[in-house]
Chains A and B, each alone.
Chain A
């Protein structure tokens, strides 16, 4: 009896010793405490993300149980009749993000190529700073500008010609109000451009100079050399685009202010629409019934999971490129 109790205590001591040694290989008490504290902070970050998944999951459980998979494919969103279908929001989010990327990707590639391959240093540095400032403008400010400047401008100068020339496409039919998917997509494009540009710039800068020299030595023109560089950077550029996509999917304020906030699915880009993030922002404080709130939290959970996967994938792509060449991302 006594012997086994001693063994237990001995084992416990051994465990504490092992734990102490892992925390501080030097055996210094201060080191162990310091390392313990820093690890706690790191653990807290894991806890936040884990807690997010659990808290959102628990809160959305009633909606998941009640609507099941229908939640994603039903297009009826009527809180009064407790009908909750997310399809209009999924549609609005996907289409507005697609418009944003269609505009932002070529724009960002152009800026990044200009900055890395063409511009002289004295010009490249201030321009880089100015483009990065675009990312410093808050979402709500873009929204304000979108309501009072961009939307009226598009209504008068852009949407009518588009309707006239491409009106045979269902995309550009319908009434022109300036508030809708098209405007939402464009404002998002302005917002993700600096983000994509910054990453593409790093990726292009990470392409070894020997590639450029080899192409030039073979008699390639400047454009052909740039093409070699771009092809070299394809995985990283894909990562940059996905980072932009992640940002666009979760963009809230600016889009909420210009997209019209109507849960409908319309082929026309000029019609008002609604995104997942916008409906959460608009209706969360109005949700009086539990099931309504739960449906909104489920939308948040969907947004969280999608952006988590998109971002994780993007980081892996970008890491691989920039780590290989040893530049910091």
Chain B
């Protein structure tokens, strides 16, 4: 039986290594400074993913701006006031929100933001990503705040601090590093999302700094290049993937490093 379980584990890990190494091998060839800085050009003329990198960063900042405070607030609500039927409903909804297909989130944001404003926008993309971030951040915040020892709270309350100062001044700082890792993992997760961006941020072949205009992203660019019939664009898709995977792996490894030191 150990043979079977060992084989399963070996299969999973070798798949991971094959995928990562293949990305590195295919991607490294087209990777250079021009590729990272320029915007796309027609087939045969090179071009790069500079606008997509900027676009992805803009989308990540937007989604963090919405998703982080709301997610942390929901986490505080669940851990500090989370008793009773309403709270368990919130907890249940947050958990199921994690499992809602991201493409459905895209359709929803299209209906409530893109349709009224009449065009695709970076803002809509950011909000769609934020909706994916919120449940992840909320659940980690809740778990991390629960790890803060009760007597820390009691000590602060005994000194006469009101509840809100205890939470904001004592509990949150104590849980901060845990919450930070949760936020980083949420950012890593969201940076790989494609489906919710297809009809919210839509994509663009130019540098764009206006939030009410369509904006490019690494993932949508990879998708469009991958399904195109051109070898040159396939090579660029691999190089863009290498950039994206480097970001995601870096976040995961840093988080791993920090949590390991802490526990």
Q: Which residues of A contact B (CB under 8 A)?
A: 24, 26, 28, 30-31, 33-35, 37-42, 44-46, 48-49, 51-52, 55-56, 59, 106-111, 113-115, 118-119, 127, 129-131, 133-134, 136-145, 147-149, 190, 193-194, 197, 222-223, 226, 243, 246-247, 249-253, 257, 277, 280-281, 284-285, 296-297, 300, 303-304, 307-308, 310-312, 314-315, 328
Contact = CB atoms under 8 A, between A and B. Distances in A.
Residue from the set A56, A133, A139 with the largest chain B CB neighbour count within 10 Å: A133
B5 A110 contact: yes
A127 B1 contact: no
B29 interface: no
B59 interface: no
Contacts of B138: 45
A170 B142 CA distance: 51
A238 B96 CA distance: 17
A30 B102 contact: no
A104 to B, nearest CB: 10
Contacts of B80: 38
B70 A127 contact: no
A142 B77 CA distance: 36
Contact of A56 (B98, B111, B222, B252): B111
30 contacts: A30-B162, A31-B163, A38-B77, A40-B73, A41-B69, A41-B74, A42-B73, A45-B138, A46-B89, A51-B112, A55-B112, A108-B8, A110-B4, A110-B8, A130-B16, A131-B9, A136-B188, A136-B189, A136-B192, A136-B249, A139-B194, A139-B195, A141-B245, A194-B12, A249-B101, A253-B219, A253-B223, A303-B104, A308-B99, A314-B99
Residue from the set B9, B95, B195, B227 with the largest chain A CB neighbour count within 10 Å: B9
A140 B103 CA distance: 13
Contact of B101 (A38, A131, A307): A307
A328 B146 CA distance: 11
Contacts, number: 247
A45 B73 CA distance: 11
Given A52-B108, A253-B195, A144 B12 contact: no
Contacts of A310: 99
Interface in B210-242: 219, 222-223, 226-227, 234, 237-238, 241
B92 A45 contact: no
Interface in B3-32: 4-9, 11-13, 15-16, 18-19, 22-23, 26
A45 B12 contact: no
B101 A303 contact: yes
Given A42-B73, A110-B7, 7 more contacts: A42-B74, A49-B96, A114-B8, A131-B9, A133-B252, A142-B19, A250-B103
**Can you list the 6 inter-chain pairs with the closest CB atoms, starting with the nearest?**
A250-B101, A138-B192, A110-B8, A41-B73, A34-B164, A311-B99
B9 A114 contact: yes
B96 A308 contact: yes
Nearest to B89: A46
A107 B13 contact: no
Nearest to B72: A41
Contacts of B23: 141, 145
Contact of B241 (A109, A111, A141): A141
B248 A45 contact: no
A35 B97 CA distance: 23
A223 B108 CA distance: 49
Interface string B70-98: 10011011101100001101101111111
Contacts of A307: 99-101, 104
A127 B13 contact: yes
Given A28-B163, A38-B81, A243-B99, A111 B256 contact: no
A210 B99 CA distance: 34
B204 interface: no
Given A37-B73, A252-B195, A277-B101, A138 B226 contact: no
A144 B167 CA distance: 45
A111 B5 contact: yes
B119 to A, nearest CB: 12
A258 to B, nearest CB: 10
A307 B111 CA distance: 20
Given A30-B165, A144-B226, A35 B81 contact: yes
B81 A223 contact: no
A144 B165 CA distance: 49
A40 B69 CA distance: 12
Interface string B92-131: 1111111111111001101110000000000000000001
Residue from the set A111, A134, A315 with the largest chain B CB neighbour count within 10 Å: A111
A192 to B, nearest CB: 12
A45 B99 contact: no
A319 to B, nearest CB: 9
Given A34-B163, A113-B5, A250 B100 contact: yes
Given A110-B4, A304-B101, A253 B194 contact: yes
A130 B17 CA distance: 9
